[in-house]
Structure 1
Amino acid sequence: MTQDLLDRLTIRDLIENWALWRDAGDWERFATVWHDDGVMMATWFQGPAREFIRVTQEGWDKGVSILHFLGGTSIDLVGDRAIVQTKMTISQRGDVQGVLCDVVCTGRFYDFVEKRNGRWGLVLRQPIYEKDRVDPLDPMAKLHLDQAAMATFPKGYRHLAYIQTQIGYAVKLDMPQLTGTEVEQLYTRGASWLAGEKLGA
């Protein structure tokens, strides 16, 4: 087996472990997928991975239900750095104005991954939010969404942002979507980082 193939298999394993361990509440192993300076970006949280783990545990204990499902992965590998894109869905269950619903958002994880001292780990995870929808668990339930409030959220994660604000989260409104300035800037940032530049803010 070549080193290139071994690295790619290890990276893919890392990405899959993130979803499995996070969604299973296996916090000790979940912490191992990150480097110490790892950063997580999400609609409802932006900051150090260690803080992300803490607030995710707190949400878990309060009954917040957010699950992930992964699809195909594309890895751009240059030496000890990689940009990894993985198709995914984020599924969040919660109360929307008295109706229990599932919100499903389809997109990609865009990950900055690096090998340090022989170990691959996540440096930055930035999801790309492509489209979403909301479905009542009871198909006969009548769901009345506040259309004015909905219109204030980005199209790619409008329903996800809506349900997250309903349960008290402050949602970031300029996350990358399928197209637009934010995702183009992300691609540029990824290419620069692969070329050896510092990650920066």
Structure 2
Amino acid sequence: MDSSLTELVDRTAIRHCIERIARGEDRRNADLLQASWWPDATYDYGVQGGSFDEYLAWVVPGADAIKNTQHILGQSYIELSGNTAKAETHLVSYHRVDMGEGDQDTCIGARYLDLFEKRDGEWRLASRTMLYDWSTEWGDAIDWSQGLMGMPLTADHFSGRAVGDHSEKFFGDRKG
């Protein structure tokens, strides 16, 4: 394969892996996460760090207090070097958190610093460090049972994602 095409394929595979991780975290889906991280991978999210097994036990099933998350990915700067790659990906993450006196919405701007390894032709995450750039509290969360903008929701699948996300039914039981 031409080196330019190989580079394009590698960058696409790395970006898809980053997307799969975000989807897996938002849905607390162990299969998606296991398909994206090497079993010997490590992570440091500032508030939690360790081995991949520790990460998986932390993210799936997730904290009971964190009812909903959404990771919105921005640009990824990727530097390839043979069978390794470094990537920095910007993200904005939303979290609905049970604070004990009602749900609060919070939003974080951050960056992932990722080290990827290509083993047997497959790119997966070997190490991740999360850098926090900003955070804001949005206050009381909206009560979805009341609908949106004064109009009732027509089906249960319009709200929530951490458990029973409708898009999992839409895509089927895939691993990303």
The percentage of counterpart residues that share the same residue type is 25
Question: More displaced, 96-105 or 114-123?
Answer: 96-105
Which residue, 79, 82, 85 being the options, matches 2:85? Answer: 82
Unaligned runs of 5+ in 2: 143-176
Instruction: Describe the shift of the 1:59–1:115 C-alpha distance in structure 2 as closer, same or farther (beyond 3 A).
Output: same
What is the CA–CA distance in structure 2 between the aligned matches of 1:131 and 1:95, rounded to whole Å?
21
Instruction: Describe the shift of the 1:54–1:107 C-alpha distance in structure 2 as closer, same or farther (beyond 3 A).
Output: same
Alignment of 1:118-137 (within 5 A): 118-137=121-140
Matching residue of 2:31: 28
Instruction: Describe the shift of the 1:26–1:97 C-alpha distance in structure 2 as closer, same or farther (beyond 3 A).
Output: closer
Indicate the structure with greater strand content.
2
Normalising to structure 1: TM-score of the pair?
Answer: 0.63
- The number of equivalent residue pairs is 138
Matching residue of 1:101: 104
Matching residue of 1:64: 66
Normalising to structure 2: TM-score of the pair?
Answer: 0.71
Q: Aligned to 1:44, what secondary structure does the other structure show?
A: coil
**Ranges of 4+ aligned residues in structure 1 off by more than 3 Å:** none
Residue 14 (structure 2) pairs with residue 11 (structure 1)? yes
Amino acid at match of 1:31: Q
Indicate the structure with greater helix content.
1
Tell me if the contact between 1:99 and 1:136 (Cα under 8 Å) persists in the aligned partners: no
Instruction: Describe the shift of the 1:37–1:138 C-alpha distance in structure 2 as closer, same or farther (beyond 3 A).
Output: closer
Deviation at 1:90, TM superposition (A): 2.0
Unaligned runs of 5+ in 1: 140-201
Matching residue of 2:167: none
What is the CA–CA distance in structure 2 between the aligned matches of 1:120 and 1:45, rounded to whole Å?
24
After superposition, give the CA deviation of every residue in 1:163-186 in whole Å (9 maximum; x if it has no partner).
Answer: xxxxxxxxxxxxxxxxxxxxxxxx
